[in-house]
């Protein structure tokens, strides 16, 4: 989630944007690449290779969950929006 300059907009209104699908995917995959091992050597046993990729898949899955949860938590709730904006 990208935050814009604070203080802009109405009082109590946060200004942030939800990334589009391509940016969202880039954010998650970039994080996965940075936070998990990236090198597999030719002599690794198949079990170790499988473990390597399962770790990446699980990390990516958790990152998607965390980022989507963050977006949903920060999204304004209809009951909390001033009637003027509703």
Within-domain flag for 57 = yes
* pLDDT classification of 61: cutoffs 50, 70, 90: very high
Within-domain flag for 84 = no
The mean pLDDT of the chain is: 85
Residue 57 has pLDDT above 80, yes or no: yes
Domain that holds residue 49: 20-74
Within-domain flag for 46 = yes
| Residue of 33, 21, 25 whose CA lies nearest to 59 | 33
- Give me the mean pLDDT over the 46-59 stretch: 97
Rounded-to-integer distance, Cα 32 and Cα 58, Å: 10
Phi, psi of 20 (to 5 degrees): -70, 175
Within-domain flag for 5 = no
Q: Which of 41-45, 71-75, 78-82 has the highest mean pLDDT?
A: 41-45
Rounded-to-integer distance, Cα 69 and Cα 17, Å: 15
Instruction: Report how many domains make up the chain.
Output: 1
More confident residue, 51 or 12: 51
pTM for the complete prediction? 0.72
| Residue of 31, 23, 32, 35 whose CA lies nearest to 57 | 32
Rounded-to-integer distance, Cα 59 and Cα 51, Å: 12
């Amino acid at each position: 989630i990208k935050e814009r300059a604070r203080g802009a907009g109405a009082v109590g209104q946060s200004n942030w944007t939800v990334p589009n699908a391509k940016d969202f995917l880039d954010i998650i995959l970039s994080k996965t690449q940075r936070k998990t091992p990236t090198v597999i050597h030719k002599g690794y046993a198949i079990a170790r290779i499988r473990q390597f990729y399962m770790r990446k898949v699980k990390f990516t899955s958790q990152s998607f969950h965390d980022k989507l949860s963050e977006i949903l938590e920060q999204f304004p709730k209809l009951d909390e929006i001033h009637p003027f904006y509703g």
